[in-house]
């Protein structure tokens, strides 16, 4: 009888999940006292990680997150000084947040500034030598590792596989790095060698960060259906700067049934009903256009745009990346576009890539010469989110796009979305067609263009402007429909369900 009681009272053994990532958005407080002070996102990856941490924690999963300690960035975004930060680090139990600390990236604003290779080595060494062992031991040896992109792959994925930890590796982008093996001082690379994808790069034997992660992952997930197909089929040819090694490893995984796609979903804090950075919050059932006009005027005041509540605001909220995002195309046409369309304003909120300030300077000069018709500001989360609420259309000009999230957020905030017909935008943007124009029903959420050139971008934006010049009643009904449909199609619950299903699959059917 006593034996039966002991078995009946035993708690079900659960498996912890450790998310390893170079960046994150604002973490939920449920992950510990330090969590709300950690935010160092450089793109959509960070927002997805933060949303995933929140969703898993709400469902009772023992969720841990490991990232680089970027005190300069964390202090700035949390509005605290160095003394306050040090008190937090020394007095607050980090609980489920595991920060990798190194003088190498102590003064960096992003994991991708400074020497990226050196940053990656410092990060991966600590994760391999300390973090995985510690988190796994905390949970009785039961651990699933979810790594994100090349910087969290490499030696980490190789070590996890050697130690028998199931690994889900998510490819958010095709960026990669070749890390000289001799840089991994203090890591037993000889034991890891059978699990490494070694490349010859610059005359040195290197670890291919992304290919090694893909090779060792139990499952490789992608954040867009179309992007995975473009890689496998080679549809984009030389326009997709992906290495043959990475492409081949992805093809092999796909042939073995070890790939999956899960579309990103915005975090709850990124809905206009809850976003704390707006002049006026609103939802699909509210007076949407009145709320957007109020937010537009506040945004115009903060960015130096002419205050005009009737202006059509075209909003670029992406990094200034000429290799992927096409910022150079916008730079070529911006002044001419606002001259040709007198009711249009353009706002650009984003940082340059790494330490390159070239396009920040160019955008700044364009804004200064525009007489209040074009604005440029470096990324600040409050201003960026206010921009979504102010925007008529959220746009970009991507050469390729694994998923993209600006279109989703724009639609959530009652803006149309315009971008090139590739990758994630092919998945998520449907051409806006209306019954009043002869269509069988009102459908779509934005505008797509084909060509990666100034003519393509001009064509897409001109079509958007034409829609936003239409009668208020027509626009409001379509915007309300887009907001509602976006909530249904891109729910956080659906994304969490997808990842949990993969965790169970690679962990013997249990969590």
Beta strands in 214-281 (DSSP E): 219-222, 259-261
* Structure confidence at residue 215 as a pLDDT band (50, 70, 90): very high
384 belongs to a structural domain:
yes
**CA-to-CA dists, residue 288 to 196, 294, 385, 388, 437, angstroms:** 53, 10, 16, 13, 23
Mind listing the pLDDT tens digit for each residue in 114-166? 899 999 999 999 999 999 999 999 999 999 999 999 999 999 999 999 999 99
Span 270-275, mean pLDDT? 93
Residues 245 and 295 in one domain: no
Span 180-188, mean pLDDT? 94
Helices 288-303 and 381-390, interaxial angle, to 10°?
Answer: 140
- The pLDDT, as a whole number, for residue 92 is 79
- The pLDDT, as a whole number, for residue 419 is 98
Span 78-95, mean pLDDT? 83
Using the predicted structure, report yes or no on whether residue 347 has a pLDDT greater than 90.
yes
* Structure confidence at residue 239 as a pLDDT band (50, 70, 90): low
97-110: burial string, b at 16+ Cβ within 10 Å, e else: bbbbebeebeebbb
CA separation for the pair 24, 39 (Å, rounded): 6
Residues 440 and 317 in one domain: yes
Span 66-94, mean pLDDT? 85
Span 13-37, mean pLDDT? 87
Q: Which has more pLDDT, 240 or 24?
A: 24
Share of the chain above pLDDT 90, in %: 76
Q: Which has more pLDDT, 122 or 81?
A: 122
* Structure confidence at residue 10 as a pLDDT band (50, 70, 90): very low
Using the predicted structure, report yes or no on whether residue 42 has a pLDDT greater than 70.
no
Q: Do the bridges between strand 204-208 and strand 198-201 make them parallel or antiparallel, or are there none, so unpaired?
A: antiparallel
CA separation for the pair 242, 239 (Å, rounded): 9
Residues 83 and 205 in one domain: yes
The residues with which 171 forms a beta bridge, in sequence order, are: 222
CA separation for the pair 301, 384 (Å, rounded): 14
CA separation for the pair 337, 366 (Å, rounded): 12
Residues 186 and 282 in one domain: no
Taking CB atoms within 8 Å and a gap of at least 24, the contacts of 59-63 are: 59/496, 59/500, 60/14, 61/14, 61/16, 61/17, 61/500, 61/511, 62/14, 62/15, 62/16, 62/17, 62/96, 62/139, 63/16, 63/17, 63/19, 63/31, 63/96
Counting the structural domains of the chain, the total is 2
Cβ atoms 199, 208 nearer than 8 A: yes
Residues 222 and 294 in one domain: no
* Structure confidence at residue 240 as a pLDDT band (50, 70, 90): low
464 belongs to a structural domain:
yes
Range of the domain at 295: 268-489
Q: Which has more pLDDT, 275 or 10?
A: 275
CA separation for the pair 182, 189 (Å, rounded): 9
Residues 296 and 172 in one domain: no
Span 481-498, mean pLDDT? 94
CA separation for the pair 219, 167 (Å, rounded): 7
8 belongs to a structural domain:
no
Span 257-280, mean pLDDT? 92
Residues 212 and 283 in one domain: no
Cβ atoms 78, 64 nearer than 8 A: no
- The pLDDT, as a whole number, for residue 496 is 94
258 belongs to a structural domain:
yes
Return the SS3 of 232: helix
CA separation for the pair 219, 505 (Å, rounded): 9
- The pLDDT, as a whole number, for residue 308 is 98
286 belongs to a structural domain:
yes
Span 397-414, mean pLDDT? 94
CA separation for the pair 144, 124 (Å, rounded): 17
- The pLDDT, as a whole number, for residue 317 is 96
Residues 28 and 170 in one domain: yes
Closest CA to 89 of 17, 38, 27: 38
Residues 227 and 348 in one domain: no
Q: Is 464 left (phi over 0), alpha (psi -120 to 50) or beta?
A: alpha
Cα radius of gyration (the chain):
23
Using the predicted structure, report yes or no on whether residue 175 has a pLDDT greater than 90.
no
What proportions of the chain, in percent to the nearest 5, are helix, strand and coil?
A: 50, 15, 35
- ∠ CA 498-502-503 to the nearest 5 degrees? 115
Mind listing the pLDDT tens digit for each residue in 195-211? 999 988 888 999 999 99
Residues 360 and 232 in one domain: no
Mean model confidence pLDDT for the chain? 92
Return the SS3 of 315: strand
3 belongs to a structural domain:
no
The DSSP call for residue 28 is P
CA separation for the pair 141, 160 (Å, rounded): 12
- The pLDDT, as a whole number, for residue 268 is 79
Residues 184 and 286 in one domain: no
What CATH number does the domain containing 21 carry?
3.40.50.2000
CA separation for the pair 397, 460 (Å, rounded): 9
Residues 331 and 424 in one domain: yes
């Amino acid at each position: 009888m006593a034996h039966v009681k002991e078995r009946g009272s035993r708690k079900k053994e659960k498996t912890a999940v450790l998310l390893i990532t170079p960046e994150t958005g604002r973490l939920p407080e449920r992950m510990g006292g330090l969590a709300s002070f950690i935010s160092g996102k450089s793109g959509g990856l960070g927002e997805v990680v933060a949303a995933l941490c929140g969703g898993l924690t709400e469902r009772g999963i023992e969720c841990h997150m490991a990232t680089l300690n970027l005190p300069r960035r964390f202090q700035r975004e949390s509005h605290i000084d160095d003394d306050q930060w040090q008190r937090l680090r020394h007095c607050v139990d980090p609980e489920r947040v595991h920060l990798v600390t190194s003088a190498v990236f102590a003064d960096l604003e992003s994991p991708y500034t400074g020497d990226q290779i050196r940053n990656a080595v410092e990060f991966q060494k600590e994760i391999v030598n300390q973090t995985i062992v510690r988190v796994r031991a905390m949970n009785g040896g039961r651990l699933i590792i979810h790594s994100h992109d090349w910087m969290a792959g490499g030696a980490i994925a190789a070590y996890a596989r050697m130690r028998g930890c199931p690994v889900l590796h998510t490819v958010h982008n095709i960026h990669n790095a070749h890390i000289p093996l001799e840089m991994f001082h203090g890591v037993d690379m000889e034991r890891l060698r059978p699990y490494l994808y070694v490349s010859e790069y610059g005359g040195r034997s290197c670890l291919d960060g992304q290919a090694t992660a893909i090779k060792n992952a139990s499952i490789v997930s992608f954040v867009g259906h179309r992007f995975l197909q473009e890689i496998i089929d080679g549809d984009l040819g030389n326009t997709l700067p992906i290495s043959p090694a990475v492409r081949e490893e992805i093809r092999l995984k796909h042939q073995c049934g070890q790939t999956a796609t899960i579309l990103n979903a915005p975090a709850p804090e990124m809905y206009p009903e809850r976003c704390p950075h707006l002049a006026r919050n609103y939802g699909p059932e509210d007076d949407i256009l009145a709320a957007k006009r109020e937010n537009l005027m506040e945004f115009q005041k903060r960015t130096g745009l002419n205050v005009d509540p009737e202006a059509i605001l075209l909003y670029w909220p992406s990094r200034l990346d000429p290799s992927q995002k096409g910022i150079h195309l916008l730079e070529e046409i911006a002044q001419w576009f606002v001259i040709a369309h007198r009711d249009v304003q353009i706002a650009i909120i984003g940082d340059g890539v790494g330490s390159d300030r070239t396009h920040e300077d160019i955008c700044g000069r364009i804004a200064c010469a525009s007489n209040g018709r074009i604005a440029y500001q470096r990324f600040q989360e409050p201003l960026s989110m206010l921009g979504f609420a102010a925007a008529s259309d959220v746009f970009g000009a991507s050469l390729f796009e694994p998923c993209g999230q600006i279109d989703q957020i724009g639609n959530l905030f009652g803006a149309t979305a315009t971008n090139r017909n590739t990758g994630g935008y092919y998945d998520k943007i449907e051409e806006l067609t209306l019954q009043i124009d002869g269509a069988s029903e009102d459908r779509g959420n934005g505008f797509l263009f084909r060509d990666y050139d100034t003519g393509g971008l001009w064509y897409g934006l001109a079509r958007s402007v034409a829609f936003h010049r239409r009668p208020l009643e027509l626009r409001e009904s379509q915007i309300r429909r887009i907001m509602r449909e976006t909530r249904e199609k891109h729910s956080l619950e659906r994304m969490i369900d997808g990842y949990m299903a993969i965790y169970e699959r690679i962990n013997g059917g249990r969590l």
